[in-house]
């Protein structure tokens, strides 16, 4: 199965700094330390125009390896929250080198707000306080419709490092045993997409530009890995 998450998985968080009163917003991403005070003020202003003060900023390459072309995902505080799940809006701001140096760096929103989710680890529940998330608990992009219980269940399943037999290694010969391999559940999830055919595509990130694509389906009450592959961009 060919997975189609690549446009969402160009980057993954690898550094964190924080600024401002109460350590909000938190900064993550490989370019977090490259943002100037002017950049941060403009990003906060951009987020205010969309309806809220940012909770977390994730600064990534918009072109891999090009520090002068970056994209910042602006996570707004959750619209709703349960003990283990937060769901809210995320907007992306692009920055490119100026055509005219006198006008300074150009920054612009990239489309309307999208959706994100954040799932806690099982033994740690969310409170009203927005803390700096650990790597495994970073928020991730959502595309498609998801019930809250299904979303938490799917994330727990991926984090459990489930075993599966790759499609390319499967055999109809019952006498030939094919050893299973495992998804690496240590990686933070960066995106989940629900496809029209009922497949869920999960992207994880081990470092900037690298991680796993995982295709999952629900069969009865169980999640089953259909295919998984490493990616590198």
Q: Establish if 202 belongs to a structural domain.
A: yes
Residue among 132, 129, 117, 131 nearest 84 (CA) = 117
110 in any annotated domain: yes
> Which structural domain, as residue segments, surrounds residue 162?
6-232
Q: Does any domain span residue 39? A: yes
Tokens representing 110 are: 């990239």
Give the mean pLDDT of 47-54. Answer: 78
Q: Within 10 A of 213 (CB to CB), how many other CB atoms are there?
A: 21
Q: How many domains does the chain have?
A: 1
- Residue 1 in any domain: the answer is no
Per residue in 54-110, pLDDT (tens digit) is 889 998 877 666 666 778 999 999 999 999 999 999 998 887 666 655 555 566 677
Coil, helix or strand at residue 170:
coil
Residue 213 included in any domain:
yes
Residue 162 lies in a domain: yes
pLDDT in tens, 113-142: 899 999 999 988 998 888 888 889 999 999
Categorise residue 30: left if φ over 0, alpha if ψ from -120 to 50, beta otherwise.
alpha
Q: Is residue 115 part of a domain?
A: yes
Model's pTM, two decimal places? 0.80
């Amino acid at each position: 199965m060919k997975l189609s998450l690549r446009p969402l998985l160009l980057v993954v968080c690898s550094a964190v700094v924080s600024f401002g009163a109460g350590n909000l917003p938190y900064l993550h991403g490989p370019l977090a330390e490259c943002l100037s005070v002017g950049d941060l003020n403009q990003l906060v202003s951009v987020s205010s125009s969309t309806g809220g003060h940012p909770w977390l900023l994730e600064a990534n390459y918009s072109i891999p390896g090009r520090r002068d072309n970056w994209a910042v995902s602006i996570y707004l505080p959750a619209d709703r929250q349960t003990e283990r799940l937060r769901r809210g809006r995320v907007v992306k701001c692009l920055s490119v080198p100026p055509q005219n140096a006198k006008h300074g760096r150009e920054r612009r929103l990239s489309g309307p707000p999208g959706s994100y989710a954040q799932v806690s680890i099982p033994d740690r529940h969310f409170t009203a306080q927005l803390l700096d998330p650990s790597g495994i608990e970073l928020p991730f992009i959502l595309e498609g419709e998801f019930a809250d219980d299904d979303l938490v269940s799917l994330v727990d399943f991926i984090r459990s490092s489930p075993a599966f037999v790759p499609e390319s290694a499967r055999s109809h010969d019952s006498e030939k045993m094919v050893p299973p391999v495992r998804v690496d559940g240590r990686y933070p999830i960066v995106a989940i997409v629900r496809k029209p055919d009922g497949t869920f595509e999960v992207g994880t990130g081990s470092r900037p530009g690298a991680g796993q694509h995982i295709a999952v389906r629900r069969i009865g009450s169980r999640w089953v890995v259909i295919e998984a592959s490493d990616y590198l961009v």
